[in-house]
Chain A
Amino acid sequence: MSYFLTQVLNGLSYGLVLSLIAAGFAIVFTSTGVLNFAHGSIVLLGAYLVAVLHPTIGFWPAMLVALFGAALVGVLINALLVRNLADPEPGAAAILMLGVDIVLLTELTRRIGNQVLPVGAPWGASVVRFGDIALPTGRVVAAGVTVVAFAALWYLFSRTDLGVGMRAAAADGPTASLMGIRLSRTAATGWALAGVLAAVAGVFLTSFPSPGVAPTIALSAFAAIPAWVLGGFDSVPGAVVGGLLIGLTSALVTGYEGDLEHVLGAGFGEVAPYVVMIVVLLVRPSGLMGSKEAVRV
């Protein structure tokens, strides 16, 4: 039983980190209609900034710089590239984002080299014990931070003019614009928020039980794509549920691989998230919480 609980907690805590990344995908998609394939590189950028800055200015100030840095890069990508697209068609923007991803990733890979850079998180490799179950402190902190972040997002989207404006812009941009909502402002906010979430996720993805920042982190971030898609392209709550579902599925399938191997084959834990995604999409084509309009355009 404690083994089952260990795997459930492993899965949920990793799933929360995935949901931070998935929410970033969803927020950019709702605020500007862009499939942001550069999101993985922004996750890596956030973690990289903390890794290179923490020895000189300390972990928390480095974290703050990383949050601003990742948000700024997001805002700049939107202001300089996305808004200047002649053709606002999502396909063109997605292609553009792939280009941005390659440029960012190549530069970060060059800077990181073949090092694994520790992020210097104050919780180090310590663990929190609940009875027989040991969970890395970093993951407990991640869970707390994620819950706070999502509470703040909920407040933003439901209780503030800016958030309501963002939702209106997402639902019907031209009408929202006619009602006096500045689309450029809601778009910039969306990209900045996604950047902040990416930087937070980057630090948790690269602190214990991961050893530090390596270029493959940008790829690990793509593990959040099934979470984003199955939650519904445009739903932040969907991204949270999706992340938890994907984290839980991977941990349990990996954890019970020995028992499942004869039925499902080796390495099914890596495939399971995509199987869950496909099953969910077969039953609910617009995802768990996605709005139907968003996928019928």
Chain B
Amino acid sequence: MKLSIFRFNPEQDEKPYMQDYEIELETTDQMLLDVIVRLKVQDDTLTFRRSCREGVCGSDAMNINGRNGLACITPVRALKEPIKLRPLPSFPVIRDLVVDMTQFFKQYHSINPYLINNEPAPERERLQSPEDREKLNGLYECILCGCCTSQCPSSWWNPDKFVGPAGLLQAYRFIIDSRDQATQERLDDLNDPYRLFRCRTIMNCTEVCPKGLAPSRAIEKIRLMMIKESL
């Protein structure tokens, strides 16, 4: 199996380059991550993030043959050779496939990703009807891998001002939560030229989400809620 991997070590290299690798597939190699973990045995300078190896932690997000995804849940045999691996587009590269996600998490924190409820907490827990709980499905599953935001042209042009699909999906997760009391503040916070309305409904986010979530649908629902609020 042939791979071509983006290499860049800022301490040694002036410019990034693509390095070719060749490795025999073994029967235990199911996912792309299995192969690159074995590649690291061949070449221990190759650097990437991984942790849970089952699509839950979101560490091994990378650009695989031009499309963002998680190496650990991408079946390796279905990929076209040579498999081109690059770091997440538009994120600053730290080394090889490892990117700096500071900006991404800054945008995530900017939407206050926690329940805001000023009533005294009940003895056990804040209850929610099964119907209200149902509304969080398709939102809470986000693992913040960054695949969507890194593939979003609006985030490429304004990463500092546009919240980006991952952050907006989480914004909607709290807007729609029946236990949250800051709905209006959250909507007002997003109603400016940049934070939400840079979205041009390109829908790359929904196209690449490795968890099958739909940030573009969440953005649409936030817009509809804003319209209802302003009437």
A binds B: no
B residues neighboring A (CB under 8 Å): none
